[in-house]
Amino acid sequence: MNLDNHPCFNPGACKSFGRVHLPVAPRCNIQCKFCNRKFDCVNETRPGVTSAVLSPGQAMVYLEEVFAQKGNISVVGIAGPGDPFANPRETLETLSRVRSRYPDVILCVATNGLNLAAHVDELARLKVSHVTVTVNAVDPAIGAQIYAWMRLDKRVVLAEKGAAALLEKQLAAIRLLKARGIMVKVNSIILPGINDDHIERVAEHMAGLGVDLFNAMPYYPNAGSDFEDLPEPGKDVVETIRAACARHVKQMRHCTRCRSDAVGLLGEATDRGLMDTLNACQRLDVSKPRTARVSPRPRVAVASMEGMLVNQHLGEAAKLMIYGETQGRVELVEVRTTPPRGGGLARWQALAETLSDCSSLLVSGVGTNPEKVLSASGIRVMEIEGLIEEAVRAVFAGESLNHMVKRTLTACGSACGGSGMGCG
Of 68-77, 160-169, 309-318, least confident by mean pLDDT is 68-77
**CA–CA separation, 383 and 407 (whole Å):** 9
**Can you tell me the mean pLDDT for 48-61?**
87
**Helix, coil or strand: residue 192:** coil
**Can you tell me the mean pLDDT for 374-398?**
88
Of 134-143, 145-154, 240-249, 255-264, least confident by mean pLDDT is 255-264
Among the listed residues 186, 82, 183, the one whose alpha carbon sits nearest the alpha carbon of residue 133: 186
Of 264-273, 274-283, 411-420, least confident by mean pLDDT is 411-420
Report which residue type is found at 307: G
Report which residue type is found at 220: Y
pLDDT of residue 328: 67
Contact 301, 363 (CB under 8 A): no
Mode of pairing for the β-strands spanning 319-326 and 299-302: antiparallel
Mode of pairing for the β-strands spanning 309-310 and 386-387: antiparallel
**Can you tell me the mean pLDDT for 329-340?**
91
> CA separation (Å) from 50 to 25, 95, 199, 359?
11, 19, 28, 23
Mode of pairing for the β-strands spanning 358-363 and 380-383: parallel
pLDDT of residue 288: 60
299: left (phi over 0), alpha (psi -120 to 50) or beta: beta
**In sequence order, what E strands does 47-194 have?**
73-78, 106-111, 128-134, 147-152, 155-157, 183-190
pLDDT of residue 418: 41
Of 32-36, 86-90, 109-113, 176-180, least confident by mean pLDDT is 32-36
Helix and strand tally (H, E) in the chain?
11, 17
Q: What mean pLDDT, rounded, does the chain reach?
A: 86
End-to-end CA distance of the chain: 44
pLDDT of residue 153: 83
pLDDT of residue 125: 95
Question: Within a 10 A sphere around the Cβ of 386, how many other Cβ atoms?
Answer: 18
Res. 414: pLDDT tops 50: no
The domain limits of the chain are 3-278, 297-404
Task: Give CA torsion, residues 204, 205, 211, 217, to 10 deg.
Answer: -70
Determine phi and psi for 419, rounding to 5 degrees. -80, -15
**Can you tell me the mean pLDDT for 279-295?**
67
Contact 116, 85 (CB under 8 A): yes
With cut-offs at 50, 70 and 90, classify the pLDDT of residue 401. Answer: confident
With cut-offs at 50, 70 and 90, classify the pLDDT of residue 421. Answer: very low
Altogether, the residues listed in the chain come to a count of 424
pLDDT of residue 38: 56
pLDDT of residue 415: 42
Res. 416: pLDDT tops 70: no
Q: Is the domain 297-404 a CATH 3.40.630.10 member? A: no
**CA–CA separation, 70 and 62 (whole Å):** 12
Percent of the chain at pLDDT exceeding 70: 90
pLDDT of residue 275: 83
pLDDT of residue 69: 85
With cut-offs at 50, 70 and 90, classify the pLDDT of residue 417. Answer: very low
Res. 143: pLDDT tops 90: yes
pLDDT of residue 342: 80
Crossing angle of helices 368-376 and 345-354, rounded to 10°: 40
Res. 12: pLDDT tops 90: no
What digits encode the pLDDT tens for the residues 75-107? Answer: 999 998 999 999 999 999 999 999 999 999 999
Contact 118, 152 (CB under 8 A): no
With cut-offs at 50, 70 and 90, classify the pLDDT of residue 411. Answer: very low
Among the listed residues 71, 103, 91, the one whose alpha carbon sits nearest the alpha carbon of residue 28: 91
Of 13-27, 45-59, 249-263, 314-328, least confident by mean pLDDT is 45-59
Residues 6+ apart with CB under 8 A from 234: none
**Can you tell me the mean pLDDT for 412-417?**
43
Report which residue type is found at 26: P
**Chosen CATH of 3-278 out of 3.30.365.10, 2.40.50.140, 3.80.10.10, 3.20.20.70:** 3.20.20.70
What digits encode the pLDDT tens for the residues 192-234? Answer: 999 999 999 999 999 999 999 999 999 887 777 888 889 889 9
pLDDT of residue 364: 94
pLDDT of residue 129: 95
Question: Within a 10 A sphere around the Cβ of 1, how many other Cβ atoms?
Answer: 12
What digits encode the pLDDT tens for the residues 306-325? Answer: 999 999 999 999 999 999 88
With cut-offs at 50, 70 and 90, classify the pLDDT of residue 295. Answer: low
90: left (phi over 0), alpha (psi -120 to 50) or beta: alpha
**CA–CA separation, 320 and 392 (whole Å):** 13
Res. 420: pLDDT tops 50: no
Determine phi and psi for 358, rounding to 5 degrees. -105, 130
Report which residue type is found at 293: R
Res. 408: pLDDT tops 60: no
With cut-offs at 50, 70 and 90, classify the pLDDT of residue 355. Answer: very high
**CA–CA separation, 339 and 291 (whole Å):** 35
Q: Which residue has the higher pLDDT, 14 or 156?
A: 156
Question: Within a 10 A sphere around the Cβ of 291, how many other Cβ atoms?
Answer: 9
Helix (H) or strand (E) holding 264: strand 263-264
